[in-house]
Amino acid sequence: MPELPEVETIKNLLKPQLVNRKIIRVDILREKTILGDPNVFKSSLEGEMFLDVSRIGKYLIFHLTNEIVFISHLRMEGKYFEYHKDEPSTKHARVIFYLDDDRKIIYDDSRCFGIMKLSNEKSYKNEEEISKLGPEPFDIKDVDYLIKKTKKSALPIKSVLLDQTIMTGLGNIYVDETLFRSKVHPLRKVNSITKDEWKKILDDSILVLNNSIKAGGSTIRSYHPGKGIDGNFQTELLCYGHKGEKCPECGHVFHFIKVGGRGTTFCPMCQVEKKDKLVIGVTGRMAAGKSALLEYVKSLGYPIISSDDIVEELYQSNGDIYQLISEKLNISFERNYVDKAVLREHLIKHPKDKSKLEKIVHPLVRKYINKWVNVQHGGLIFVEVPLLYESKMEEDFDFIIALDVNLDIQKERLKKRNESSYHDLLIINRNNAFDDYSHLVDFLINNNKDKEDLYRQIDKVINTLQHHLN
């Protein structure tokens, strides 16, 4: 969606195209684009001359002779194009303005969310679309206004910054960019933001918007001269869109969550959120030391749970999971529970059934874990999930620790566990996606040495995590 910098740039490009040009004809190809009577819109504009183009928030304001004004919001995909009058119009043309110099300005909108509304110089600021808007960051001289507006709200700061009635001009992209620069977590309750933090947020929002306006101007001018008045462009972004990449400030991996339904990218180390309880996912290669990690943190007094133990409990029950696995994998067990040895032999012969098994087991394990986590009181809570990313559970955890091990040591450890079955386990797990997700984890522990080295690495991680607790 075009945001304030894009709309400001479009305004600056449209202005020289339109000022002192008369509208000869208006063709309305989609009447619903016009709020109000399309015929009145058309008849009011024809014969009038453009005097100016201005902007309020994400709205373009077109000023014409006889004090006529019309308001335009591009919404998701709205664009303006300049064509010669005899050229074919764009595929998604919705409104066309024919000018007195043989050109036409086309409003193009593939999603049909954009709107236009007729008004006049005396009342356009009182139109519902404009009057409800808060001030732009550039116009806020005292952050006490923001503190007063938000002091009774416990909404996340990101949701509040997206609320155009409080402060207009910041969309999803620029909120992420602003909060990253301000080092404020997007889920932070807005009524906990201090006056100094509000000053930083306001300053950073102005910096981000101004930089984006400059970058946007040069970007849009790179389109074909005279035609590409287009609101979709890329800018140099530090945070937004960099999910799974490394933070340029600290080198940690950016997280991605949903806040109020909006995709949100942030750095959990630079944008610290203090919490009473942190849920830590533990994953990694087979025989990399996940159980050793759980045993160690348990000895330190932290609550732990292992999905392997949950699966074992589910397999031993004679409930739905037994029936589902039997039916979906077409496998028979001698007794009324899931025999792991029989299952392992089946998966070796039918490796494609592994994904079928996971679709049955993963939702049950996830439900069990979430229920268990909810009754834990606080502090650090460790949850082992070997197939954490494969089961799409990464968003359930505040941080994720992964353990890695080289192949030779992995084989040695598996042989010590069970020499007769270690080869089968390697076959079953050879397609696990550890290498695909290892760059996404928050802490990667290489467990190729002794337990003392493993414990030192765990202690270092715990020390870092403690700083994120209240």
The whole-angstrom separation of Cα 7 and Cα 177 is: 18
Can you list the pairs that 209-215 forms with residues at least 24 positions away whose Cβ atoms lie under 8 Å?
A: 209/4, 209/5, 209/137, 209/138, 209/169, 209/170, 209/174, 211/235, 212/3, 212/5, 212/174, 213/5, 213/8, 213/9, 215/5
Instruction: Give the number of residues written for the chain.
Output: 470
Beta bridge partners of 384: 282, 306
Tokens of 92: 């998604």
Do the Cβ atoms of 93 and 29 come closer than 8 Å?
A: yes
Please check whether residue 267 is in contact with residue 247, taking contact to mean a CB–CB distance below 8 angstroms: yes
Phi–psi pair at 291, nearest 5 degrees: -65, -40
Phi, psi at 360, each rounded to 5°? -80, -45
Amino acid letter, residue 263 = G
Q: What is d(CA 408, CA 410) in angstroms, rounded to the nearest whole number?
A: 5
58 is catalytic: yes
Measured CA angle at 19 (ends 71, 72), to 5 deg: 15
Q: Could you tell me the two tokens for 301? A: 């007094």
- Per the DSSP assignment, residues forming a β-bridge with 61 are 54, 71
**Residue 318 φ/ψ, nearest 5 degrees:** -105, 35
Cα 249 off chain centre by: 19
Residue 344's Cβ-count burial label (10 Å; 0-12, 13-18, 19+) is middle
Annotated catalytic residue within 15, 30, 262, 366: 262
> Catalytic: 262?
yes
Q: List, in sequence order, every beta strand (DSSP E) within 222-357.
A: 255-259, 262-266, 277-284, 304-306
Q: Which of 2, 137, 156, 186 is catalytic?
A: 2
Q: Which residues share a beta bridge with 108?
A: 79, 93
Q: What single-letter amino acid sits at 141?
A: K
**Apex 171 CA angle, 166 and 177, nearest 5:** 110
- Separation between Cα atoms, residue 372 and residue 248, nearest integer Å: 36
Mind giving me the DSSP string for 176-201? HHHHHHHT--TTSBGGG--HHHHHHH
Report d(CA 76, CA 73) in Å as an integer: 9
Q: How far apart are CA 35 and CA 113, in angstroms?
A: 12
Choose, from 55, 58, 181, 188, the residue flagged as catalytic. Answer: 58
Residues taking part in catalysis = 2-3, 58, 262
